[in-house]
């Protein structure tokens, strides 16, 4: 059985793991009900290991990016039903519009005794703009003083 670390090393070299969703190896697309989280598709059988933390390593790696800024990483693991709830918050990104990301997921212990990542979601923490459908974007038009006369709102 291949461990998750071997899988991530072979398939994800040169990519930012948190951005492309390290486990299922398709990007995060589906959005949870209005909370700004995007689902990360997890490939069955490939996101497992004999060590609990190894399952989470792709989400922990490459942070902080440098010594510059105020990078933080908070990890909470708690028992939740038959598995464990994982909450991971990374901040201090060197990006002027995204200050970090929040991950939430579920890890279980299989009948074979290995740990398996069942689900993971990601939500950007926006420095400016709003989280709209899991993406930091400007939802409102700029103030009228920045618009050309043709684009300015008309007084009625």
Instruction: Output the pLDDT for position 139.
Output: 63
pTM equals 0.67
Convert the pLDDT of each residue in 63-78 to its tens digit.
888 888 789 999 999 9
Binned at pLDDT 50, 70 and 90, residue 147 comes out as low
Do residues 120 and 103 touch, judged by C-beta distance below 8 A? yes
- Beta carbons within 8 Å of 42's beta carbon, 6+ residues apart: 23, 24, 117, 118, 119, 120
Q: How far apart are CA 36 and CA 13, in angstroms?
A: 28
Cα–Cα dist 9/55, whole Å: 13
Q: To the nearest whole percent, how much of the chain has pLDDT over 70?
A: 67
Q: Which of 128, 63, 130, 122 is nearest to 90 (CA)?
A: 63
Q: Average pLDDT in the 89-96 region?
A: 90
């Amino acid at each position: 059985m291949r461990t998750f670390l071997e899988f991530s090393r072979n398939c994800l070299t040169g990519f930012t793991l948190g951005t492309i969703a390290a486990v299922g190896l398709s990007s995060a697309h589906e959005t949870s009900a209005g909370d700004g989280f995007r689902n990360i598709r997890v490939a069955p059988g490939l996101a497992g290991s004999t060590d609990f933390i190894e399952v989470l390593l792709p989400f922990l790696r490459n942070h902080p990016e440098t010594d510059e800024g105020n990078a933080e990483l908070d990890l909470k693991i708690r028992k939740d039903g038959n598995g464990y709830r994982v909450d991971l918050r990374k901040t201090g990104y060197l990006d002027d519009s995204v200050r970090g990301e929040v991950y939430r997921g579920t890890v279980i212990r299989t009948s074979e005794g290995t740990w398996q990542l069942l689900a993971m979601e990601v939500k950007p923490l926006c420095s400016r703009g709003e989280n709209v459908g899991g993406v930091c974007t400007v939802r409102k038009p700029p103030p009228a003083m920045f618009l050309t006369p043709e684009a300015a709102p008309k007084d009625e």
